[in-house]
Amino acid sequence: MINKSQKSTRLFGTNGIRGIPNMDLTPEFCSRVGKAIGTVFKTRDIAMGKDTRVSGEMIWSAVESGILSTGVNVTDLGILPTPALQYYCKVHSVYGVIITASHNPPKFNGIKCIDKDGTELQREREEEIEFIVEQGEFMKADVKNMGQRTFYPLAVNDYIEGIKKIITPENVKKAEFRVAIDTGNGAAFRSSPELLTELNCKVVTLNANPDGNFTSRNSEPKPENLGDLIALMKTGKFDLGVAHDGDADRCVFVDENGNFIDGDRSLALIVKYFTSRGSKVVTPVSSSDVIEDVCNKNGAVLVKTRVGAPIVSRTMIKEKALVGGEENGGIIYGRHQYCRDGAMAMALVLDLMAREKKKISALLSDLPAYAMYKTSTELTEDWNQVRKRIIDRAGAEEIDFTDGLKLYLREGWVLARPSGTEPIMRIFAQSKTVEKARELAEFIIKIASP
């Protein structure tokens, strides 16, 4: 363990080390990270995977070289979704490294570490890696004990089979759903269409080719980036539209009429139909009140956390929660694994539609309606100064300090929090209408300005 009094430069953000290849993520730096990973994990084998980004091979090679130099073997899983690598780590009880920048533009890439239970690495272990990177005290294997690379080409197949064990495939197969899926040229280009085919769905794919430049659309699955999928769904020929981000740990849906479904509502749908009295649900304070309303109706216990998938996952494990997730389409289903999993979320929704024999729009129709607005603004001052100004001037009826400031105002609430990866303040607002939520967000941004 590192000496806690010796603080190193922070490298890991909310979801791994992110940066621009050959600027931030140079071969030399990535090799040091690889050597630090091998030194800290002190294990026989580490599994590695990557998404489709064009810089992935360079970064992979540098990280792998560093790991091998410490005498640790690497199991090459190839291109696959992050949750597929996490499933492999969980089943085989090995550490993992995934080369991905998730939904970020193609000029970025990243290095994310996975624990032996398939969850994202705890912050304390990331600090150990950061310390070793800075100090340069790496393990060095002699020639006879250098790490070796082996290939395992069946990780995606194992992952698909693991998902099928959680749902009732026979029900989904009988329904013969028509599904349009946009994998965004990312890591799920093979896995999600293959899972749908094995579930006897009639599948039309969009952007289901590996293109690390994300030529067809931005990898963030927001409505403004999903015009082709939404237009296809408006033809009325499909039961469900599905879209992933770059590494497919998230999944968003479009209903049979071409309406985009907010991530809060898809999470609330899973909570409604897959929990019962006494079940525990975990979500960040940024999620809308629809999840709390559904929990109250089901008699489920809602636990709120700071923003961040690793925080939600760890809290789910601690609380033995069944369902968790974020408002961005990141759904975690505890019976499968404690991480965001886009394909698992897709399978759960299809299973639900088959079981209830209803369209997704009908399943969503009786959920409470809240309007959310999300934005961000540049943070040019110390957060503590901005925080004090907001507290003094916002006139909040109540303030939740779980993560940043969640201000309960007369016409809704606003969450303002500093980003963990950029010099910006992120804003989440909820009200009765999108227009009013936007007004609340702009009100907080205005009083936060110097």
Pick from 310, 302, 312: nearest CA to 279: 302
Please answer whether residues 386 and 397 qualify as being in contact, where contact means their C-beta atoms are separated by less than 8 angstroms: no
Amino acid at position 367, single letter = L
Question: Please, is 341 exposed, middle or buried when counting C-beta atoms within 10 Å of its C-beta (0-12, 13-18, 19+)?
Answer: buried
Determine the angle formed by the axes of helices 342-356 and 191-198, rounding to 10 degrees. 20
Please answer whether residues 254 and 241 qualify as being in contact, where contact means their C-beta atoms are separated by less than 8 angstroms: yes
The whole-angstrom separation of Cα 18 and Cα 419 is 14
Residue with tokens 């032996």: 116
- Other beta carbons within 10 Å of 165: 10
Question: Please, is 418 exposed, middle or buried when counting C-beta atoms within 10 Å of its C-beta (0-12, 13-18, 19+)?
Answer: middle
Has 102 been annotated as catalytic?
A: yes
State the pairing for strand pair 73-79/149-151: parallel
Rounded (5°) CA angle 196-202-204: 85
The whole-angstrom separation of Cα 106 and Cα 184 is 12
DSSP 201-270: -EEEEES-S--TT--SS-SS--GGG-HHHHHHHTTT--SEEEEE-TTSS-EEEE-TTS-EE-HHHHHHHH
Phi/psi class of residue 72: alpha, beta or left (left: φ > 0; alpha: ψ in -120 to 50)?
beta
User: DSSP state, 121?
Assistant: P
Which residues are CB-neighbours of 318 under 8 A, at least 6 positions away? Answer: none
The whole-angstrom separation of Cα 409 and Cα 415 is 11
Given the residues 102, 279, 287, 313, select the one marked as catalytic: 102
User: DSSP state, 53?
Assistant: -
> Which residues are known catalytic residues?
102
